[in-house]
Amino acid sequence: MATIDPHLATSDLGYMTAEQLSEALERGTLTSVEIVTGLLARIDAIDAPASAIGLRSILAVSDDAIAQAAAADDRRRAGNVLSPLDGIPIVVKDNIEVRGLPSSAGSTALMARPHGDAALVETLRAAGLIILGSTNLSEWANLRSPESASGWSAVGGLTANPWATDRSAGGSSSGSGAALAAGLSPLAIGTETDGSIVCPSSLNGVVGMKPTVGTISTHGIVPLSSSQDSPGPMARTVRDVQLLFEVLAPSRAKLRTAHVAAKAVVASTWKTGHPKTDALFEETMARLRAAGLDLEDREVARPRNQDQDDELTVLLCEMNDDLNAYLSSRPGSPESLAHVIHFEEQHHDVELAHFGHEFFEQAHALGGRSASRYDEARRRNLEWAITTCLEPALCDADVLVAPTYGPAWKQDLILGEDGAKAAPTTMAPAIAGWPIACVPMGLVDGMPVGIGIISRPGDEAKILDFAGTIEVTLDLNADGEFRPMFPAARRG
């Protein structure tokens, strides 16, 4: 891979926030057509497989993106602005149905395009956002094989990390995180079952939030687990995530006041196992305390092997039922998980070129929620996540904070995630269905790492408020240099 032209890497348009673009639209110094035209050119120069970098974060571009932008400009001239984000582009993870886009979950089994939009896409359009395209992902949202490589799909190929193009972009919302970091869109939608927004946010140096399960409709989204799935907003700043969350869930999005008054518990027992990342986290907590934040160290329960096994059992049982229900109602797709397994075996060279589909086979064999193991596994899982872990940790606090992941590991389609380092930060809130966000805390060996922030169900505003305090205190982009330069692959 070639190294990108520095001028293109630092393009002002590419790194304007949604809030800045909205202000420019209001002043009349930019139009939506100009914004979309510039971003499409940037995608063509950086992201397309034949481009200088070939980032592969964008799986498909909307054919009507310019037409959407022209309509937004017409509304603005007529004084009919629909929301603060009217006329702002957004990219959407490709497991979410968008008319005219593949909505494939990265699988060639789902190439029959849907005729309508997912419920959340209808909400975005009603607020005037421009659907610029769909983003690549870990195929089937990464619950297909224990040997999978994050960011690879049969439809979109392997997404690269713009901070180092031989490193992982994380998953499963790989393309959403990489596209934001690369300045290809100011806003993105990801989905998370356990870690799939937090991981790419951490590895790509952006902000992402998984809201409380059930806050944002999952209708029209390729499912894994109804008890853990949630779509959520992603952007380069906390404020942009807040603005997008206000569109998606206005009743939940009001910010709290008195930032410094919030009490946070630091999970002293949740470490990534990557020495430099854990050291930076301790330094960052000291810096936040010096700035006046109330941070109390507290030992928080770590998952045992039984807890991890129980979560996998629950996910596999729910995936069998939920995916079967979804597929049976999507025209032109395989009718069930069993049909997907058969399809992938028939198209082995494409679908199983790098790893298998062992989790699909296990899910099919378990047979869904009626499996004898399901109820007990779910009961134990909730008891660990809520009673043993989250409730004691948050008993007298607003938020719980911990590191998320070490720096992005080398991409490897043979060994999968062999170099990954992660704290157990996403697991308990995932099982419980509680909200979690990730905000950048700095660079380790030139690669971004993040802070996870957890709160109780419905307390997304507390999370965003505290994330905003961290962002302002750390001020990582004070010199405008907290952005990737797309270095070529290197040894080491």
Catalytic annotation, residues: 93, 172, 196
User: 189: part of which helix (H) or strand (E)?
Assistant: strand 187-192
Quick one: DSSP state of residue 220? T
Give the Cα separation of 407 and 6 in Å (integer). Answer: 23
Query: Do residues 179 and 47 make contact, with C-beta atoms less than 8 angstroms apart?
Result: yes
b/e burial code for range 364-388 (CB count within 10 A of at least 16 → b): bebebeebeebeebbebbbebbbeb
Give the Cα separation of 98 and 96 in Å (integer). Answer: 6
Give the Cα separation of 132 and 482 in Å (integer). Answer: 24
Residues 6+ apart with CB under 8 A from 430: 192, 193, 194, 195, 210, 228, 311, 436
Dihedral sign for Cα 473, 476, 480, 483, please.
Answer: negative
Single-letter residue type at 203? L
Quick one: DSSP state of residue 441? E
- Name the residue among 439, 432, 425, 420 with its Cα closest to residue 271: 425
Q: Which residues are registered as beta bridge partners of 298?
A: 267
Residues 6+ apart with CB under 8 A from 189: 90, 91, 92, 93, 96, 120, 124, 176, 231, 232, 233, 234
Give the Cα separation of 251 and 273 in Å (integer). Answer: 38
Single-letter residue type at 460? E
